Chain A
Amino acid sequence: EAEVAQSPRYKITEKSQAVAFWCDPISGHATLYWYRQILGQGPELLVQFQDESVVDDSQLPKDRFSAERLKGVDSTLKIQPAELGDSAMYLCASKTGTANTEAFFGQGTRLTVV
Chain B
Amino acid sequence: DAKTTQPTSMDCAEGRAANLPCNHSTISGNEYVYWYRQIHSQGPQYIIHGLKNNETNEMASLIITEDRKSSTLILPHATLRDTAVYYCIVKAGNTPLVFGKGTRLSVIA
Contact = CB atoms under 8 A, between A and B. Distances in A.
Contacts of B51: 100
Interface in A54-108: 56, 89, 91, 93, 95, 97, 99-100, 102-108
9 contacts: A4-B43, A48-B96, A89-B41, A97-B94, A99-B94, A100-B51, A100-B93, A102-B46, A105-B45
Interface in B77-102: 87, 92-94, 96-102
Interface of A: 4, 31, 33, 41-45, 48, 50, 56, 89, 91, 93, 95, 97, 99-100, 102-108, 110
Given A42-B101, A91-B43, 4 more contacts: A42-B87, A42-B100, A93-B44, A105-B45
A100 B43 contact: no
Contacts of B101: 41-42
Nearest to B34: A102
A48 B93 CA distance: 14
Contact of B98 (A45, A102, A110): A45
B97 A103 contact: yes
B41 A103 contact: no
B42 A108 contact: yes
A64 B100 CA distance: 26
A56 B96 contact: yes
B77 to A, nearest CB: 23
A54 B34 CA distance: 24
B10 to A, nearest CB: 17
Contacts of A50: 94
Contact of B99 (A42, A56, A107): A42
Contacts of A44: 99
Given A42-B87, A97-B94, A103-B97, A108 B43 contact: yes
B43 A105 contact: yes
A99 B99 CA distance: 19
A103 B46 contact: yes
A99 B93 contact: yes
B44 A105 contact: yes
